[in-house]
Structure 1
Amino acid sequence: MTLQEYAVKQIGLPESNRLKYEVLLPSNIEIGKLICAYANTAGGLLVLGVLNKNKTISIKGLSDDFRVDMVVNNSLMKISPPVKIERGFINYEGKKLYIIKVEKANEIVTYNEVQYEITYKTIKKVTFQKVNNNTNITEKIMPYADKLDAILKFLLDNPKRINVNKYTIREVFANEISLSEAEQLIEKLKETKYVKSYNDRYIGMSIDTAVFLEDGGFSGKSPNSLQSSIKSIFLSYSWKQKEAASKLYNFLKANGYNPSMDDHNLAYKDKLSTFMESIRTSDYAILIISDDYLKSANCMTEVLHILNERESYSRILPIRHENVKIFSSSDRMKYIHFWKTQFEESTAVIENLDRISTIEESKKLKITSRIYHDIGDFLITIADMITFTIEKEEEVLFSNLLDYMERE
């Protein structure tokens, strides 16, 4: 039976542990987990291009533009051992659907070194069996495995620290966790033999910490992968795009990343140093380029500094709002002309002010002048990097951004 014939018999049936519909392309992480879960249970079928809402199944079709094969390939690279699948586009009711058929595996399969299974249509992480030989890892520990390993790695890197408390733990995670969560992590570590407890207030490295991490720690990952297991991402955007930025922030947070947002509320002098430090210390910086962004002195001053930061620039992921056009010379000239006008107006203002009053305006003129002279080169560079709009990325659950970051 061909893949087309098999899929046609399944499409229209209600979703189950062996059948799932998606109207758009999920991220490679979601696809990887589902393939892994299918392989560990009874196999299954994923149909892309079908909307399942209120128990009504609608055939919508899936565009070739989604680059499904690339996303699936990225998922399969992290699945071990390899699983038997069939995949590809089929024609159904005049629409193109993408089908992924997964066979049940004869041994335990993992995605990104984690085992998954599917129960009542829900994908669940399985308590380590084959993945990790540390039999004392319990379900209570598992949800915190990566964070606990990160703390152990910190203790290993700082062997003389015997006064690590909840405040220290927050700093380990760039203050992205609450004090109560930090306390909770410390208490969970105290229940194991992998840290020492001092006066029941502080923790430090024990004689078992290093060996435990070498064996894979709580997460089953090698020590070298611990630092990169949670990627930090900095979001830069104009205030009018805060809603779109917030959606992206929440999505990244929910998918295991460590995002931070630039709120554009600080004064320029304070904010620039904060921005550049965030760029330097983050794995990636996502710039939501909009019309407002390109006309904002603060936004443009920030982003033009990246051009002088070679390492930082390589980690920039620009994505445009649908209201901005920068791909033709005439489109780019509009922004060059805008900043030329700003520069000329600032110059005219200074000529009519006394010496004392011109100090602050001179600073603004210097900023405006640099933007005016550099924005043309910046727009050409950014235009070559941008592929999709933020609106398009929302539709495909930011899969293109995730794919890029996962490949690196």
Structure 2
Amino acid sequence: MRVVLSAYDSRGGVEPLVGLAVRLRERGAEVLVCAPPDEEFEKRLAGVGVEMVPTGASVRDLVTGKTPPAPGGLPRRAAELVAAFHENVTALAEGCDVVVATGLLPAAAGVRSAAEKLDVPYVYASYQPVSLPSPHHPPIPRPGRPLPADVTDHRELWDRDARDAQEVFGEAINTHRASVGLPPLDRVRDHVFTDRPWLAADPVLAPWQRPADLDVLQTGAWVLPDERPLPAELVAFLDAGPAPVYVGFGSIPMRDPGDVAKAAVRAIRAQGRRVVLSRGWADLARVDDQDDCFVVGEVNHQALFRRAAAVVHHGGAGTTTTATWAGAPQVLVPQGGDQPYFAGRVTELGIGAAHDGPTPTFESLSAALASALAPETAARATAVADAFCADGAAVAARLLFEAYGSDRRQLGDQA
């Protein structure tokens, strides 16, 4: 069996493909991954022996502003993504059994157009339920298109979201489709999602509620035990005292990162805790030369979070999933996208606290930390970790083999 996996996303959106790729290979599949050309993605996939084909522009350069704004803005970048993913998936997927797309809609649209041209089955997967239409939650606002405050009906908001997606991405997607001999689409979002998308999220942390407008197949989160050792210097720091509080914002370029680091370190020290500060794409750095703070770059978060008293982060699907699986109490400082949803879920489950607002201050972070570091929060985080569904990648691999292996049985009309 040959499978092409694709994502145009940050690290948290590429990491699940590592888990799925490994589980597919364990069943004997040949796996290729199309992902952004960021060095950390290539190193991670190479570390598990999976070939990655760099596709599209660097996500890190786009997010951190190292890539200057393109003429034509978002529509131009959307057109580039559609073309890049169509070209690479077309080159890789001929004779393939199935292609799986995740990540940004225009990139996934390029993957689906390649699957159509090659007559290869296609599956779309989301890492969080709020990206998929449902009467139980509103859509995530699209860039420059806030949700109208006077509309509360979720189905009406999802209809509006379909129109917004068409207005933002429709021209780029349909122009490309015409260039490769495919008919135009009047609802690009629904075409990309299909009638039966997959939800690669833990059913306790991020459940799919029924009844709903889509027949969603929830597999569980695509996670993989990370066997990489922690750096010796970090292990020595962890061993030298009580469990520290981790602070990191992943791929989010925080405004005024120096002030954020100062507020975080001060608030954590006020709780009597040491600090592990992750540089991330915000480039957080030490605020002084005290020995109760350790700065890390790329490390095994699974191992580190298991040794943390709490994890302060932005609330992306990847970090929230990892912290939940590790049983670490959390403080989420959501900036946008799916992050407010996960902040709400962590609060509802009692495994952490949602920070009030996107900019942490000493006062606001102190209040959230006091809640996260309470004994009852730690006990609840442990209980939820014990219920975590850690075999989602294996479930997804099995379903792909059953549906698209040698007998090519279908799980519904997804191609």
What is the TM-score when the length of structure 2 is the normalising length?
A: 0.24
Structure having the higher strand fraction is 1
Higher relative contact order (CA 8 A, sep 6+): 2
Larger Rg: 1
